[in-house]
């Protein structure tokens, strides 16, 4: 399956746009997606931390990702 | 009442206070976060705020729900600005009203502290000689 991944803040600069896509086997976990992203974009692994959001919620590393999910890279937040 | 707004336009602080006012609210606590002129001794030219808007609203809703569970509050107003801000501009306004001041003070502090930890909003500091996404790197 191909999933579209939104990127914000510094993640937008790392992936070179407001989104990127990844071809993944079905039943992919958040942890597997993170490994794939870090292979493709080594700078992600150098951030202080980052989270993956699925459908507007912070996702646990063992959560499964489906093709229709809205997936986003959430680098360290700094609002306020 | 709970009112949450992520906006590209200037925040109307007085309107936020008016929304939180009621005849039974003896304490109204207002937090205004503004753009500081310098960070770690470096002069700031401007800040650029970006939000993942639907998730930011949803995370702020979670904070307001927690506040209403923890304290006897009347109204909570949280407005956050996005886009390019210059020194002195208002980035965030939080207004909390309650019958008495202790609940309003404590809840308001909780709101801004938690917002800074959980809400997907980012700021980039632009200096005279470079720029940096705040908190991005260790």
- Would you list the domain boundaries of chain A? 2-74
User: Which residues in chain A have their CB less than 8 angstroms from residue B56's CB?
Assistant: 79
Q: Answer yes or no: do B137 and A47 touch at CB < 8 A.
A: yes
Q: Where are the domains of chain B?
A: 2-130
Q: Mean pLDDT of all residues in chain B?
A: 97
Q: What is the mean pLDDT of residues B91-117?
A: 98
Assess B71–A contact: CB distance below 8 Å, yes or no.
Answer: no
Which residue, among B90, B133, B138, would best test binding to A if mutated, counting the most A CBs under 10 Å from its CB?
B133
The pLDDT-based confidence of B60 (bands split at 50, 70, 90) is: very high
For the cut 90, the answer to whether the pLDDT of residue B39 exceeds it is: no
User: Which residues in chain B have their CB less than 8 angstroms from residue A80's CB?
Assistant: 33, 80, 91-92, 112, 115-116, 121
**Rounded distance between C-alpha atoms, residue B27 and residue B77, angstroms:** 14
pLDDT tens-place string over residues B61-96: 999 999 999 999 999 999 999 999 999 999 999 999
In this structure, which topology does domain B2-130 adopt according to CATH? Answer: Aldehyde Oxidoreductase; domain 3 (3.90.1170)
ipTM above 0.90, yes or no: yes
Place of tokens 């707004």: B5
Chain B 3-32, residues with CB within 8 Å of chain A CB atoms:
none
**A58 Cα to chain B: minimum distance (Å):** 9
- CATH 3.10.20.30 holds for A2-74: yes
**Rounded distance between C-alpha atoms, residue B28 and residue B98, angstroms:** 7
For the cut 90, the answer to whether the pLDDT of residue A48 exceeds it is: yes
Going by C-alpha positions, the residue among B67, B76, B90 that lies closest to residue B19 is: B76
Q: What is the mean pLDDT of residues A6-11?
A: 98
């Amino acid at each position: 399956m191909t999933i579209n991944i939104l990127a914000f803040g510094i993640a937008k600069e790392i992936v070179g746009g407001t989104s990127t896509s990844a071809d993944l086997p079905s039943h992919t976990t958040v942890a597997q997606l993170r490994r794939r992203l870090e292979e493709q974009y080594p700078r992600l692994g150098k951030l202080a931390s980052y989270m993956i959001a699925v459908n507007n919620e912070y996702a646990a590393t063992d959560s499964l990702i489906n093709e229709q999910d809205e997936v986003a890279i959430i680098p360290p937040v700094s609002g306020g | 009442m709970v009112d949450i707004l992520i906006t590209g336009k200037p925040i109307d602080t007085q309107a936020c206070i008016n929304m939180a006012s009621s005849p039974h609210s003896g304490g109204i606590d207002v937090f205004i976060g503004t753009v500081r002129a310098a960070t770690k001794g470096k002069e700031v030219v401007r800040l650029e705020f970006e939000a993942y808007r639907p998730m930011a609203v949803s995370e702020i809703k979670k904070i307001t729900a927690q506040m209403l569970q923890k304290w006897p509050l009347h109204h909570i107003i949280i407005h956050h600005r996005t886009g390019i801000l210059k020194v002195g501009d208002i980035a965030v306004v939080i207004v909390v009203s309650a019958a008495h001041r202790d609940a309003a003070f404590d809840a308001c502090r909780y709101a801004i502290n938690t917002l800074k930890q959980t809400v997907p909003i980012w700021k980039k500091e632009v200096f005279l000689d470079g720029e940096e996404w705040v908190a991005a790197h260790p």
